[in-house]
Amino acid sequence: MYPQKESRMPTTCPGSVSTQGLHRNHGGGLERECSRNPDQQPPKLYGVGNPTAAFSSDSPHLSSRGSVIKWFWDSAEEGYRTYHMDEYDEDKNPSLSQRDMLRVEPSLLQYPDWRGHLFLREEVARFLSFYCRSPAPLKPENVVVLNGCSSLFSALATVLCEAGEAFLIPAPYYGAITQHVYLYGNVRLVCVYLDSEVTGLATRPFQLTVEMLEVALQGAHSEGVKVKGLILINPQNPLGDVYSPGELQEYLEFAKRHELHVVVDEVYMLSVFEESVQYRSVLSLERLPDPQRTHVMWATSKDFGMSGLRFGTLYTENRDVATAVASLCRYHGLSGLVQYQMAQLLQDRDWISQVYLPENHARLKAAHAYVSEELQALGIPSVSRGAGFFVWVDLRKHLREATLEEEMLLWRRFLDNKVLLSFGKAFECKEPGWFRLVFSDETHRLRLGMQRVRQVLEGKSQVAEDTPSC
């Protein structure tokens, strides 16, 4: 019932080198092993993804990468498909349409500037200047528009990396990025594993520190993997967390020291619903340490709940990167008609600021509060600081063993009860038992969903309680 406004959750990439480690001490470098797994290797603080492991070329008609690409379709999204085969239904909502949104000018039907029509790039620059609170106006020539952030990941990976090279990414992360950089680009991800325990320099669960970045970078290098950049998702998906300006600055300085590109995915930028959370776009910083290597992405899929509209944008001061991405935009172009509609939407700042965002934030906040209370009543810890559409839920004590198999079994129990959660492995979370629960839905649907969650957990809690988890 949940994915209404949220993205699909792909099946995670098989064959990751990530260790399914459990807890670890962070500061002293000592690894604390799980008492129930004495034979287990010391967990690694990073993992180099290998998306091709475990594939076999099962079609005589496809190249080996074609088979990989097909595999992602076949095996991914079992939950999503199950959901759609037996979808929770209700009366259709009446839909609104703004006057003058259908405009068919000849120029909109001709081959466009692949960077996007100038009128749209100008509007995007104004929009981002305003909502990112940039210290100086952003420039249309630094904008490239295309049909979504998935495409942007694909294009950036391809133009920044050689085949086989890698990006660092703090994990858990929105798992679809694995495919986005790999399917066309053949680029891998090096996970920087975050820890649910507050240890070392961290002050909150799953906090990213520069120390972790350094360890993962050196680890990848020692395995012969060349790292070309760092991906930051801010607000973070699935953690619902945001980076402070100080943290952001530290990560950017780290990247500059190592001449790494930084791809900042701000697709939830306008979905920070908790007033106390001080979100800052990277474009709001007074000074970027390395502007030529800082590339920002935003889209309407999440903040405007329009994933089917297919609109995303890159902002970068690096002209080479902008041009190379634009060159690939002949494969990621969006209709001139949609470009016109997008410009109409983005320029309506009165409506966005005074009507849409307050209402959207109020709804998200209410849904988040409801879900958080329900989880608390169920005795389930969760992480979320008030951004995004989800809470990151700790169901470790509901696993009989701290394994990914058990995590999958629990996920399937939810699915059998018609609740679609996303399991932690899909986010490359190294601790089995974490789930992402999306709450951006209408109240009555959310209530039904939480009832089903409760049924699953209470129905099975006996089993879990009998077997102390690690």
Residue 56 near a second copy by CB under 8 A: no
Of 44, 121, 188, 310, the one binding a second copy (CB under 8 A) is: 310
Q: Which residue has the tokens 């089917």?
A: 308
Of 27, 29, 66, 137, the one binding a second copy (CB under 8 A) is: 66
Residue 444 near a second copy by CB under 8 A: no
Residue 257 near a second copy by CB under 8 A: no
Q: Which is nearer to a second copy, 38 or 106 (CB)?
A: 106
User: 389: which residues sit within 8 A by CB, 6+ positions away?
Assistant: 5, 6, 268, 271, 302, 364, 438, 439, 440
Residue 1 near a second copy by CB under 8 A: no
Question: With contact defined as beta carbons under 8 Å apart, do 401 and 394 qualify?
Answer: no
What 3-state class would DSSP assign to 34? coil
Residue numbers 322-341 binding a second copy by CB under 8 A = 323-324, 326-328, 330-338, 341
Residue 65 near a second copy by CB under 8 A: yes
Number of residues that bind a second copy (CB under 8 A): 82
Residue numbers 154-213 binding a second copy by CB under 8 A = 154, 158-163, 165, 179-180, 183-185
Q: Which is nearer to a second copy, 113 or 250 (CB)?
A: 113
Q: Which residue has the tokens 């970068």?
A: 316
Residue 106 near a second copy by CB under 8 A: yes
Least distance from a second copy to the Cβ atom of residue 311, Å: 8
Least distance from a second copy to the Cβ atom of residue 147, Å: 6
Residue 75 near a second copy by CB under 8 A: no
Beta strands in 331-427 (DSSP E): 382-383, 390-394, 422-423
Instruction: For strands 312-316 and 143-146, give the pairing.
Output: antiparallel
Q: At what angle do helices 404-416 and 443-466 cross, to 10 degrees?
A: 140
Residue numbers 133-152 binding a second copy by CB under 8 A = 147-148, 150-151
Of 28, 224, 246, 308, the one binding a second copy (CB under 8 A) is: 308
Q: Which is nearer to a second copy, 177 or 404 (CB)?
A: 177
Least distance from a second copy to the Cβ atom of residue 268, Å: 16
Residue 320 near a second copy by CB under 8 A: yes
Helices marked H in 76-175: 78-85, 106-109, 118-131, 149-160
Q: How far apart are CA 257 and CA 248, in angstroms?
A: 14
Burial of 55 (0-12, 13-18, 19+ CB in 10 A): middle
Q: Which is nearer to a second copy, 321 or 404 (CB)?
A: 321
Determine if the peptide bond prior to 238 is cis (ω within 30°). yes
Kindly indicate which of the ranges 39-47, 55-63, 262-270, 458-466 contains the residues binding a second copy, using the contact rule CB under 8 A: 55-63
Q: Which is nearer to a second copy, 43 or 175 (CB)?
A: 175
Of 25, 107, 244, 467, the one binding a second copy (CB under 8 A) is: 107
Burial of 417 (0-12, 13-18, 19+ CB in 10 A): middle
Widest CA span in the chain:
70
Least distance from a second copy to the Cβ atom of residue 193, Å: 26
Residue 225 near a second copy by CB under 8 A: no
Q: Phi then psi for 353, rounded to 5 degrees?
A: -80, -35
Of 293, 397, 398, 436, the one binding a second copy (CB under 8 A) is: 293
Least distance from a second copy to the Cβ atom of residue 39, Å: 38
Residue numbers 31-50 binding a second copy by CB under 8 A = none
Binding mask 340-379 for a second copy (x = CB under 8 A): -x--------------------------------------
Least distance from a second copy to the Cβ atom of residue 117, Å: 9
Which tokens go with 51? 């998306």
Q: Which is nearer to a second copy, 21 or 148 (CB)?
A: 148
Residue 5 near a second copy by CB under 8 A: yes
Determine if the peptide bond prior to 235 is cis (ω within 30°). yes
Residue 85 near a second copy by CB under 8 A: no
Nearest to 429 by CA among 388, 468, 464, 383: 383
Report the chain's terminal Cα–Cα distance, integer Å: 31
Q: How far apart are CA 401 and CA 227, in angstroms?
A: 34
R_g of the chain computed on alpha carbons = 22
